Every structure is written in C-alpha cells, then in structure tokens.
A and B are shown apart, each in its own frame.
Chain A
Amino acid sequence: MTSLVPLSATVAEPEALSTLPTPARPRVDPSDVVVPDGYRVEVVLVGLSMPCGMGFAEDGTLYVLEGGSTWPTRPYVPARILRLDPDGHLGVVAEEALGGPRHVAVHGDALLVSCKGGRHARIDHIDIATGSSRVLVDGLPNGGWHEPGGPVFGPDGLMYFAQGSVSQQGVVLPQGFQVDLARHMGVHDVPGEDVVLTGNNVQTYDPTAPYPYLVETGPFKPFRTPARRGEVVRGSLKCSSGLWRAQPDGTEMELVAWGLRNPYGMAFGEDGDLYVTDNDFEETGDRAIRGDPDRIWRIDAARTPHGSIDRPAWYGFPDVCGDGLPAWHESHLPRRGRPAEPLIEDPPPWAGPAVFLEKPHSAMAGLDVSRSDSFGYRGRLFACEWGTLAPMNSPDPADLEHGFRVVAVDPADGTSESFMRNPRPGPASALGTGGLERPVDAKFAPDGSLYVLDFGVSRVMETTNMSYGHTGVLWRVVRDGSRP
C-alpha cells in the first residue's frame, strides 16, 4: 500500500468536541443525534472539508473524499482522497483537481474515483500500491449543476456509473450563474437518444452581459441559443443525465438510462437490483416547478445482459417529475417564477414509477444497503438526505425542514423510516445542537456498522448559499451488543 502524505490529525480529548475552533460548528455531540433504540452513535472524524463520498476496502480501510469545489463552488479546499486505516491512522492518498472526487469504489488493487471535473466528469483509476492515477472514463457532459453517481459494481461484475444534468431546470438559466455560465460558457445538456424539440424556449436575462438583456434559450442548447420547433437533437452515448455500465477498465461502455436529474447515490441491493437516488426540480426562476418529489429509482434495465440495450430507459428529465406527471401539470405550477412548458415533442416512454418518493427538496444523496442481520434492517436502503436549499429554491415554508437525516427505505413497498436525525427538523447549526448537519453519504463497513458522512455546515438564505470548510463529520452507528 502506498505511503500516505501526512495530514494534521489528532486524537480528540473528550472536551474538544464541545469547544471546536470552528464557530460555524462549535460542537459535535452524538447524544444530540436520534437513532432507534438499540443503536448508538459515535464520532469518527471531525474537521473534514466538504466531504462528498466514501468507500470501504474489505479489510475495513476507509477512503473518504473531500470534494474540493462543491456546493456552492467556492471556497475551494484541497480535493483530497483520505485513507483511514483500521488502526485509526489517517493520511492523504492522492489529490484531485478543482471539481474533485465525489464517489469511490475499491476494486482489487485500485480505487475507482468519480470526479466532477470541469466541463466533463470522469472516473479515475488510482493504483493503491503506487498512488499513480490514470483516467478510465472521461467526457461525460458536466460543467453545470449536477453530480456524478457511482461507480458501483453489479453482480455481473460490471462498473455502473452516472452523471446528472448540466442544467438545473432543463434549460441553461442564469439562477446561480457562478456555477455554470460564469465558469463554463457554452455548456448544455445532451440527450441520450434523438429527440425532437417543441420549439418552446425560456426567456430570461443574461447576467454575464454588461447590461443584462432578455435572451431566449432552448433545451440541449448553450445559453442564449433558442430552439426551433421540430428541430432534432441527436442523442449521444456520452449524454448528460445518463447512467452507464462498462467493464472495470472503462471499455465496452453502454448507456443504460438517461433523464436522471441528479443521480448522486447508487447501490445494488441484495436482490441484484440497482437503486439510484435523484433530486427534484426547483421552484424558482424562469422554468419553475412546484412540488416535484425526491425519489429512488430502480433501474430495471440494469438487469439486462451487457450490450443488449437498443434504447436506454428514460426517467423524465427535463419534462417529467418524479411522480410521473409532466412538469407543467396543475399540481406542479409554481407559486413563484415562470411555469414550465414541454421541451421534447413525443417524449420517450417513461421508465418509472420510482420505488420511493420523498418530500421535495430533501436532497437525497448517498445510498447503501444493509446486508447484515447483525446490524438489522437487512435489505433496506439507507439514503442520506443532505437537506433543503429552501428558501432559495422553494417559497414553501414546509420545505425549510426537509432532509437533514438518514432514512431507511424498504424498496419492496416504498415505505420508509427516519433512521438517523436530529430531535427536531433542520441542521444542528440552526437548532443550536451538536447533531447532524447535512448527511451526504452512507456506507456499511465490513463489520456491519453504518458510517454516515456529514458534509458540514451549508447555510442557505433567500439569495445565497454558503458552505464552511472544516465542519464535516464522519459518524458511525453501531447496534448495541455488536463488536465495538
């Protein structure tokens, strides 16, 4: 195993967790976190900067990813891949560039790491023995809002991975323009199959112009480029909002599905099915959509033989909400902002319904499956809910409280239980407690305990969202009576 770059990591004295030198998160206290009777919460790491994902090796070594530029894009704090050895030693394995690591899978002697990248997301292969890195998959359209999912490995031995949409609402728009327009001029969504456009465009203003003026933009087009009615946009293997599978070396890439808006969490169940979390549209701006639920999809096409997919499954982006209703349906008409219009003429058949629908703006994120009787909940999906960005992205006061927890979902019947949460809704920093902020990833360790990665403090106001470095936490949940 490659030697680690040293990192300042010190064992916390008991009182240190209540007097942290980060005023944004001055204390961390597992007793402020609620879990079911028979389980207890421990603290593993405190002070992570914008952690996004993690993965275990079979021997219990844990790799934790600090994301670099995340949500929002600044500040950048080094995008590091950390390794926590079973003996408690922590160090840096490697460092990635700006839009840093999001997910990691330990595969043989390598780490396969998805990175958000600049205008294209990629998957890197990092040799554990030498630390050397090479790109396995590149060119997944990005440069915008949404995130990579995976890689995860299926029972067929193939690598499954995803990349969310470039645009937030189906068309590149100026809301929060530092994310896309300011940094990535000219980026746009790419469909997973040929689509015919309705010619509906979205009128908005151009915040990058010296004097903001009205412009028209169409779907699958760069900002300021309108679509024409009947225009055909060619589909591409490397589309946005896509989900693929490939050999572990990145070859024989096949598009399994598209139309997934932000497929951040991916996991295979013990039943062999692939489950994917996905986030809802926002109720704001010039294509505003109300009450779109967060969801977990089961990707049925992942059960088909490799190489057999003639037409990828379509999960609705940019025109259909998580409940299967069109984005312009009466129930999705916005209370603020301009309502959506159809973008794709004669859209593909919808691959839903979802196995689980969650409240809007819960921001479902990382996902894993309980595979042990010793932990319990066997077969349940443990999904992190990063938590709302309201009031920025929704005017509904109820949305202010959604998320900030880990739910256990039964994919068989779509029911759920709030497994890990604060005593009251909301992040700990708003409640004045030492509990959860924004759970971003969940992984079961080889010993059966559940690790929950907490992104840290991300404050949201009407017009801004600001995230604080050195406030991330790694929690561990163990069942009483299990191995310490």
Chain B
Amino acid sequence: MNRPLLVELDHDTVTAHLDHVLPWLVTTRTLQSAYRKILEDTADEVGEPHIRAWLHEIAAPARQHEEAVADLYRAFGHQPPTATSSRVTPVVATVLGAARELAGEAQGLVAGARGRAWRHLRMLMLSNLDAISGFAVAEQLALALGRPAVVDITVPIVADKTRHQLLIRECFLEMASNAILYRRDV
C-alpha cells in the first residue's frame, strides 16, 4: 500500500493558515474595544434612567468579551500579544471609536437629531454589529482549520452580543421620535 497522504496538514501549510488568522484577531480585538469604548461613553451620556441602566448592564460583558480575544489567540495556538506588543491595538481602537463617534455626530446632525446621546446610540448599534462579525469570522476560520476550542469561546460571545444588539436597536428606535421630532436627547 502507499503511505497515507496528508492534505494541507503539513507544517508549512498549517503555519501559514494560522498566521493568516493573526491579523483578523487584531481586527476582532480592535472592533470589540472600539465598541466597548463607545458603549461606556454612551452609557454615561444617556439621561433616561432605564436605558442608562440597561447599557451599563451590557458594559461588563463587553469588557469580558474584549478580554476573551486573548483566549482566542491561545485557542488558535498563538501567544496573545503582551502589554508592550499590543500597545497599538488600544490606540487604534480608541481612534476608531472616536472616529465613529465623530461620524455619528456629523451624520446625526445632518439628519436632524439634536441629541448627542441618541446619535451615539446609533453608532453603538453599528459598532456592535461590526464587533459581532469579528468574533463570528474568527469562528468560521476555526471551523475551517479544525479548532473547536475557538468555537467554544466564540459561540456564547456571538450569542450574547446578538442579544445585546437587539437591546441597543430597540433603545435606538424607541427614542428616535424623541430625538428627531421633539429635538430632545435620550
């Protein structure tokens, strides 16, 4: 008999595939950090007590999800970035978050929404959607590469964040008439 053949399981191919994952993990961390920052800022800005409380409730899991990206690195067989090497990511996330807040400000003003907090709710909704995609794509990469430990991390996170997305969308839509017709903030 011929000896078995390994298909795309040699060291070089596997290493290359895993290396291709790394930039996406950086992206996932950046998207989640930007979302968490906008969430914390918005939760502090919102005056409506119920919405304010709900946003603060989801801020804690947002931080946990951000920290879980380090577990994703390990589950892919990579060392998570150290504090020194990862210094760039928080900076990029801060810049991305600030840029999104600014963009939201400008678009919201043009749209006739006077309330800053409501405009930030809109950016929060888009930002979480982006961050969900970060984890969901990491999950697809793990499935393709046969790494269930990654999937065990991403599935509950994507589920949590999808529920949070529903909450954010409901708050955003609920207060839309208040923001645009009555020119008031949340």
Interface residues, chain A, with chain B CB atoms under 8 Å away: 7-12, 16-17, 20-25, 28, 42-49, 74-75, 77, 82, 84, 88, 90, 457, 459, 464, 466-471, 476, 478, 484
Residues in B whose Cβ lies below 8 Å from that of A84: 5
Say which residue of B11, B146, B151 sits within 8 Å of A22 (CB atoms).
B146
Q: Is B50 an interface residue (CB 8 A)?
A: no
How many A-B pairs have beta carbons closer than 8 Å: the answer is 106
Distance A43 CA – B5 CA, assembled complex (angstroms) = 8
User: When the two chains form their complex, are residues B7 and A9 in contact, meaning their CB atoms are under 8 A apart?
Assistant: yes
Query: Given A21-B14, A22-B9, A464-B155, A46 and B146 touching (CB < 8 A)?
Result: no
Say which residue of A9, A22, A75, A459 sits within 8 Å of B5 (CB atoms).
A9
Query: Given A459-B148, A464-B155, A47 and B8 touching (CB < 8 A)?
Result: yes
Interface residues, chain B, with chain A CB atoms under 8 Å away: 1-14, 140-141, 143-149, 151, 155
Residues in B whose Cβ lies below 8 Å from that of A24: 146-148
User: When the two chains form their complex, are residues A466 and B3 in contact, meaning their CB atoms are under 8 A apart?
Assistant: no
Distance A25 CA – B12 CA, assembled complex (angstroms) = 19
User: When the two chains form their complex, are residues B147 and A7 in contact, meaning their CB atoms are under 8 A apart?
Assistant: no
Residues in A whose Cβ lies below 8 Å from that of B12: 8
Query: Given A44-B4, A88-B5, A466-B151, A8 and B10 touching (CB < 8 A)?
Result: yes
Distance A476 CA – B3 CA, assembled complex (angstroms) = 12
Say which residue of A8, A82, A464, A470 sits within 8 Å of B146 (CB atoms).
A470
Residues in A whose Cβ lies below 8 Å from that of B148: 23-24, 457, 459, 468
Say which residue of A43, A48, A90, A470 sits within 8 Å of B144 (CB atoms).
A470
Residues in B whose Cβ lies below 8 Å from that of A28: 4
Distance A476 CA – B147 CA, assembled complex (angstroms) = 26
Distance A44 CA – B3 CA, assembled complex (angstroms) = 7
User: When the two chains form their complex, are residues A12 and B1 in contact, meaning their CB atoms are under 8 A apart?
Assistant: no
The 6 closest A-B pairs by CB, nearest first: A22-B146, A47-B7, A47-B9, A24-B146, A469-B144, A88-B2
Instruction: For residue B143, give the distance in angstroms from its CB to the closest CB of chain A.
Output: 4
Given A11-B6, A46-B6, 11 more A-B residue pairs with CB atoms under 8 Å apart are: A7-B7, A9-B7, A23-B148, A24-B148, A42-B1, A46-B7, A47-B8, A48-B7, A84-B5, A467-B143, A468-B143
Distance A163 CA – B35 CA, assembled complex (angstroms) = 45
Residues in B whose Cβ lies below 8 Å from that of A20: 6, 9
| 29 pairs of residues in contact across A and B, judged by CB atoms under 8 Å | A8-B7, A8-B8, A8-B13, A9-B8, A11-B3, A11-B6, A12-B4, A12-B6, A16-B6, A21-B11, A21-B146, A22-B9, A23-B146, A25-B146, A43-B4, A44-B5, A45-B4, A46-B9, A48-B7, A74-B140, A75-B140, A77-B144, A88-B5, A90-B7, A459-B148, A467-B143, A469-B143, A469-B146, A478-B1
Residues in B whose Cβ lies below 8 Å from that of A44: 2, 4-5
Residue of B14, B145, B149 with most chain A CB atoms under a 10 A cut-off = B145
Which chain A residue lies CB-closest to B150? A23
Instruction: For residue B151, give the distance in angstroms from its CB to the closest CB of chain A.
Output: 6
Residues in B whose Cβ lies below 8 Å from that of A478: 1
Residues in A whose Cβ lies below 8 Å from that of B146: 21-25, 457, 468-471
Which chain A residue lies CB-closest to B151? A466
Residues in B whose Cβ lies below 8 Å from that of A82: 7
Instruction: For residue A206, give the distance in angstroms from its CB to the closest CB of chain B.
Output: 16
Which chain B residue lies CB-closest to A23? B147
Query: Given A8-B10, A47-B9, A22 and B4 touching (CB < 8 A)?
Result: no
Query: Given A20-B9, A22-B9, A24-B148, A466 and B143 touching (CB < 8 A)?
Result: yes
User: When the two chains form their complex, are residues A22 and B143 in contact, meaning their CB atoms are under 8 A apart?
Assistant: no
Residues in B whose Cβ lies below 8 Å from that of A471: 146
User: When the two chains form their complex, are residues B9 and A90 in contact, meaning their CB atoms are under 8 A apart?
Assistant: no
User: When the two chains form their complex, are residues A469 and B4 in contact, meaning their CB atoms are under 8 A apart?
Assistant: no
Which chain B residue lies CB-closest to A478? B1
Distance A25 CA – B148 CA, assembled complex (angstroms) = 10
Residues in A whose Cβ lies below 8 Å from that of B143: 74-75, 466-469
Which chain A residue lies CB-closest to B173? A210
Instruction: For residue A128, give the distance in angstroms from its CB to the closest CB of chain B.
Output: 21
Instruction: For residue B87, give the distance in angstroms from its CB to the closest CB of chain A.
Output: 31
Residues in B whose Cβ lies below 8 Å from that of A7: 7-8
User: When the two chains form their complex, are residues B1 and A75 in contact, meaning their CB atoms are under 8 A apart?
Assistant: no
Residues in A whose Cβ lies below 8 Å from that of B6: 9-12, 16, 20, 46-47
User: When the two chains form their complex, are residues A470 and B149 in contact, meaning their CB atoms are under 8 A apart?
Assistant: no
User: When the two chains form their complex, are residues B147 and A22 in contact, meaning their CB atoms are under 8 A apart?
Assistant: yes
Which chain A residue lies CB-closest to B18? A21
Which chain B residue lies CB-closest to A429? B148
Instruction: For residue B39, give the distance in angstroms from its CB to the closest CB of chain A.
Output: 22
Say which residue of A8, A10, A457, A476 sits within 8 Å of B1 (CB atoms).
A476
Instruction: For residue B173, give the distance in angstroms from its CB to the closest CB of chain A.
Output: 9
Distance A74 CA – B140 CA, assembled complex (angstroms) = 7
Query: Given A23-B149, A75-B140, A470 and B5 touching (CB < 8 A)?
Result: no
Instruction: For residue A187, give the distance in angstroms from its CB to the closest CB of chain B.
Output: 24
Residues in B whose Cβ lies below 8 Å from that of A9: 5-8
Distance A151 CA – B4 CA, assembled complex (angstroms) = 29
Distance A47 CA – B7 CA, assembled complex (angstroms) = 5
Instruction: For residue B51, give the distance in angstroms from its CB to the closest CB of chain A.
Output: 19
Which chain B residue lies CB-closest to A459? B148
Which chain A residue lies CB-closest to B137? A75
User: When the two chains form their complex, are residues A49 and B144 in contact, meaning their CB atoms are under 8 A apart?
Assistant: yes
Distance A45 CA – B8 CA, assembled complex (angstroms) = 11
Instruction: For residue A463, give the distance in angstroms from its CB to the closest CB of chain B.
Output: 10
Residues in A whose Cβ lies below 8 Å from that of B7: 7-9, 45-49, 82, 90, 470
